[in-house]
Structure 1
Amino acid sequence: MEEELSKSQELQDTAALTLKFEFDPKLGIDNPALSLTEDLDPLDDRRLPQPRFCLLSKDEQGSFGFHLQRHLGRAQPVVSKVNPGTSAQRQGLQEGDLILGVNHKMMEQEDYAVVVRHIRASGPRVLLMVVAQHMYDVARERQGDKAPLYPALDPGVRPRLCHIVKDEGGFGFSITAGNGGAFWLILSSGGAAERAGVPPGARLLELNGVSVEKLTQRQINKKLRRSEQQVTLLVAGPEVEKQCRQLGVPLAAPLAEGWTLPVSPRCLHLEKGPQGFGFLLKEEKGHDGVLRQFLRDVDPGQPAQKAGMQDGDRLVAVAGDSVEGLSHEETVSRILAQGSHLSLTVVDQETDRFFSMVRLSPLLFMEPMQPSASPGEESLVETEALTKRNAQMPRTTRQCILHPGPGGGYGLWLSCVTSEPRLFISQVTPGGVAAQAGLQEGDVVLEVNGCAVTDNNDMEILDLLLEAKPPLALKLAAGPGQDSKICVAPEAEEWTFFSGLVMK
């Protein structure tokens, strides 16, 4: 039943994206998104393949349902696999698609790590702008390698997330229904809605994080009454609708900009003192029952308290990188990599509940993310997992010689943790060469054909693997057992956080 409700909500989200178009015999169809990329005429240099937009929602396991892979010689990540029956498949994501945009950010000229960082920071919903790889390559060959093929999205394509607090005049709007199930707001002059930033003639898209596309006006009014003193609306003004129609951009919640929101995430900057940072990092269940990372035992007078940390704050990002879905050990590793200067993004309980309600990540409403700082000298962070983490690092090693199978491959997937120098086996094909040789998921690769894997040569090793002639000689360290989730986060089963290399 929960799965059916999740799919129903996703269908409502997707339905809400649909703009209403009218056919004018003189002008033709005014929606460029209706152009089929497969119809691109190779002789027509003026046309570019039209991108597709996929609004994805995470499932109960925290997955969007697809894998990303970095190809050597290409900056953009490529969709390497779409899991059947998932949000990604239902929204039309396909193997071989290039990620050109994440929410309102254009990613065409960004590298793999930046794209992954923005997807992870998107939270429970993400809007991807994609195009088939082969179509993009044809267009890029025509245009050259300098300028981006697709311009940045105009700020006018962003709907608004407005928080309205009722006053003596109520919420300051009434609702009128249009054709096709759409709803528009009629504002009271100087009322609460107008002060909250709702534009005149705005179309109502969501109410408290729920799409109104499939609701009746009576149901909407009932939800408003239940909201009592405050309500959060996702709306789009007439000009935003017009621009989105012209560009073929859907009116999706992850595009939203915040207006008069009651809460916001906090960015804390800590410098280690003589007695450390003065806090503990603990893994606990949040209000939604999911294990998350919380900041506890904030010592009075220590750097953490001075930076504004409060007991019970939930950690959402380290140095701008989301820690959503990471294990406790991996989060500790991210903190350790920052050395004696920490940049942490946190939310208190009220903020956490608000963004959970609207089903958006608090990181979408912060200043643009900066790249992660380079790992510095390891320092002590007061956390219960440090000694446990050190005890779990690989110890025993073994040599393994692999000869290609009948199909010419080895039957394994290699990935690299970006926060520390570890190349490891993230997937082994059942019955393949690697499986028969006893290789297991989580095994750490120390050497490839005699070349040691270091903190600076992981991509060189990946190049070597592509060019290596058989047999393939690997020196491996056994992974840390069941606790090997320090290497492979749960979401990596759906789309990897790491640079990957598939070896069939």
Structure 2
Amino acid sequence: LLCPVDLQDTDSLTLKFKFNPKLGIDNPVLSLAEDHDPYDPWSLARPRFCLLSKEEGKSFGFHLQQELGRAGHVVCRVDPGTSAQRQGLREGDRILAVNNDVVEHEDYAVVVRRIRASSPRVLLTVLARHAHDVARAQLGEDAHLCPTLGPGVRPRLCHIVKDEGGFGFSVTHGNQGPFWLVLSTGGAAERAGVPPGARLLEVNGVSVEKFTHNQLTRKLWQSGQQVTLLVAGPEVEEQCRQLGLPLAAPLAEGWALPTKPRCLHLEKGPQGFGFLLREEKGLDGRPGQFLWEVDPGLPAKKAGMQAGDRLVAVAGESVEGLGHEETVSRIQAQGSCVSLTVVDPEADRFFSMVRLSPLLFLENTEAPASPQGSSSASLVETEDPSLEDTSVPSVPLGSRQCFLYPGPGGSYGFRLSCVASGPRLFISQVTPGGSAARAGLQVGDVILEVNGYLVGGQNDLERLQQLPEAEPPLCLKLAARSLRGLEAWIPPGAAEDWALASDLL
């Protein structure tokens, strides 16, 4: 894996190279040699690829935070002994891409959603802080720093069903991998989308790159009448070699898969949605959210829901690892129109076997955006000043106190924005179903105090940066202000967006 192990002092390297995007992969920031020395500090000046695997009941092992006062998604902590640490992720790394999707300029919530949706495996493209800062200074904020595969150039996850001619391929003979496949014309493998001359990477979710030929033969024989292969055609293999990209399973596209996740769109009727959500143990023994008592003739049944389906996402956002109450809150936060992604037991077994998230294989790869600003709390707003009288904005009256505890991912579920004058901090985004939404926070609420400290001084930024490490609960003193009132005292583009706390991923 192309991630260095030990962090060395690289401050002295800051101005020792220049970025030249015209040079392509010869550019030191855009090239990755497979045999580079992990102890060479120059390796930190290039994008690195970290393939993380989530262990059962655990996280990937790092905390992500939006950089205060600027665009960017920063690794603010790496937990020892985790996949993130073993694969070379470092504090201060900027996330450039999740799998093959460039995310540097994406909204923070979208980046978190993409990483969680990729569980249990995700490929992160990252760049060290010093290299990122120099690149942006020399090339500008819009420069492309992240190597990605071209359109249609992806590894393939192919499901092959044996016919009278067997699986329809043979394996190049050698004592040990890597192995390449020779296809039978018109055979089962060719029909399943395996490209000619493909390199064999995984069999049923298990890497065979270091298998002996006998081990591989035994593995294929144990598969029975069907097998799922992760393969890379010659074009994919060559492009990954040039870019330094690992041939990673999360990059794969599905070919002839036996089953796929289903996206259901429900609109509540007079009798409700018509299903029961229940938490119980899944096929792997871990708790999950399952759909039962699907009533005939009601919206859930009409949308294609089946009793026994497992819920994997709400509004495109993964609910893996969430408890029952949190999941119900997210569904309720969508109101009368709900988007649910589900898998039936067959699909659940398949994606568990190949160790990939079903959300990577949705027909529509763009996850629906979560609605913002939803909250079940009923709040009384104070009267706003008139739109004409905005020269001296006043702090709204009617303050209230809220106590927040972080959710399962470590996030409080809201975002702050800042303006230079007037009431400085206000709530600019509330995650539906999150801790903030349940506590009654609303978009437009003005922050008066944080953990007993008055807001509006020069130390606001420093205190906010310390909040992720503070012991919960988070105590906020708020005053309500309507969106119309916000527009009156915040000129367009004057608000600076801040993230409050990191997300454990």
TM-score by length of 1: 0.71
Partner of 1:369: 367
For 1:317 and 1:172, locate their aligned partners in 2 and report how far apart those are by CA, in whole Å: 36
Of 258, 261, 266, which aligns to 2:254? 258
2:375–2:442 Cα contact (<8 Å) kept: no
For 1:45 and 1:361, locate their aligned partners in 2 and report how far apart those are by CA, in whole Å: 36
Partner of 1:42: 16
Q: 1:458 to 1:182 in 2, by over 3 A?
A: farther
2:205–2:354 Cα contact (<8 Å) kept: yes
2:72–2:95 Cα contact (<8 Å) kept: yes
For 2:341 and 2:335, locate their aligned partners in 1 and report how far apart those are by CA, in whole Å: 16
* Bigger shift: residues 48-57 or 286-295: 48-57
Partner of 2:280: 284
Of 122, 127, 134, which aligns to 1:126? 122
Look up the equivalent residue of 1:86 and give its one-letter code: T
For 1:324 and 1:282, locate their aligned partners in 2 and report how far apart those are by CA, in whole Å: 14
Q: 1:458 to 1:144 in 2, by over 3 A?
A: farther
Partner of 2:205: 209
For 2:187 and 2:449, locate their aligned partners in 1 and report how far apart those are by CA, in whole Å: 63
Shift of 1:154: 1.3
For 1:94 and 1:118, locate their aligned partners in 2 and report how far apart those are by CA, in whole Å: 20
For 1:375 and 1:470, locate their aligned partners in 2 and report how far apart those are by CA, in whole Å: 27
| 2:413 is aligned with 1:416 | yes
| 2:164 is aligned with 1:168 | yes
- Indicate the structure with greater helix content: 1
**Tell me, what secondary structure is at the counterpart of 1:135?**
helix
Look up the equivalent residue of 1:203 and give its one-letter code: R
**Tell me, what secondary structure is at the counterpart of 2:413?**
strand
Q: Deviations over 1:298-335 (max 9, x none)?
A: 11111100111000100001111111111111111110
Look up the equivalent residue of 2:443 and give its one-letter code: D
**Tell me, what secondary structure is at the counterpart of 1:268?**
strand
Partner of 1:500: 501
For 1:67 and 1:176, locate their aligned partners in 2 and report how far apart those are by CA, in whole Å: 43
Of 316, 322, 327, which aligns to 1:331? 327
Q: Deviations over 1:341-394 (max 9, x none)?
A: 011000000000000000000000112213212355759xxxxxxxxxxxxxxx
Q: 1:458 to 1:342 in 2, by over 3 A?
A: farther
Q: 1:38 to 1:423 in 2, by over 3 A?
A: farther
For 1:469 and 1:162, locate their aligned partners in 2 and report how far apart those are by CA, in whole Å: 50
Q: 1:39 to 1:182 in 2, by over 3 A?
A: farther
Shift of 1:205: 0.1
2:47–2:146 Cα contact (<8 Å) kept: no
Shift of 1:457: 4.5
Q: 1:76 to 1:178 in 2, by over 3 A?
A: farther
Q: CA RMSD in A?
A: 3.5
Look up the equivalent residue of 1:455 and give its one-letter code: V
For 1:470 and 1:99, locate their aligned partners in 2 and report how far apart those are by CA, in whole Å: 23
**Mapping of residues 24-423 of structure 1, within 5 Å:** 41-46=15-20, 47=27, 48=29, 49-150=45-146, 152-177=148-173, 181-366=177-362, 367=364, 368-374=366-372, 376=374, 415-417=412-414, 418-420=430-432
Partner of 1:486: none
Look up the equivalent residue of 2:226 and give its one-letter code: Q
Shift of 1:419: 2.1
For 2:144 and 2:283, locate their aligned partners in 1 and report how far apart those are by CA, in whole Å: 43
Of 453, 456, 465, which aligns to 2:444? 456
2:121–2:356 Cα contact (<8 Å) kept: yes
Question: Which 5+ residue runs of structure 1 have no aligned equivalent?
Answer: 1-13, 19-35, 380-395, 400-412, 425-443, 447-452, 481-497
Q: 1:243 to 1:62 in 2, by over 3 A?
A: same
Q: 1:458 to 1:365 in 2, by over 3 A?
A: farther
2:268–2:336 Cα contact (<8 Å) kept: yes
For 1:119 and 1:217, locate their aligned partners in 2 and report how far apart those are by CA, in whole Å: 35
**Tell me, what secondary structure is at the counterpart of 1:500?**
coil
Question: Which 5+ residue runs of structure 2 have no aligned equivalent?
Answer: 4-9, 21-26, 30-44, 378-399, 404-409, 415-429, 475-498
For 1:471 and 1:169, locate their aligned partners in 2 and report how far apart those are by CA, in whole Å: 68
For 1:153 and 1:460, locate their aligned partners in 2 and report how far apart those are by CA, in whole Å: 48
Partner of 2:460: 468
Look up the equivalent residue of 1:264 and give its one-letter code: K
**Tell me, what secondary structure is at the counterpart of 1:63?**
coil
| % identical aligned pairs | 62
For 1:213 and 1:471, locate their aligned partners in 2 and report how far apart those are by CA, in whole Å: 49
1:169–1:191 Cα contact (<8 Å) kept: yes
For 2:323 and 2:458, locate their aligned partners in 1 and report how far apart those are by CA, in whole Å: 31
Q: 1:307 to 1:43 in 2, by over 3 A?
A: closer
Q: Deviations over 1:194-245 (max 9, x none)?
A: 1111011100000000000221111111121121111000000111110001
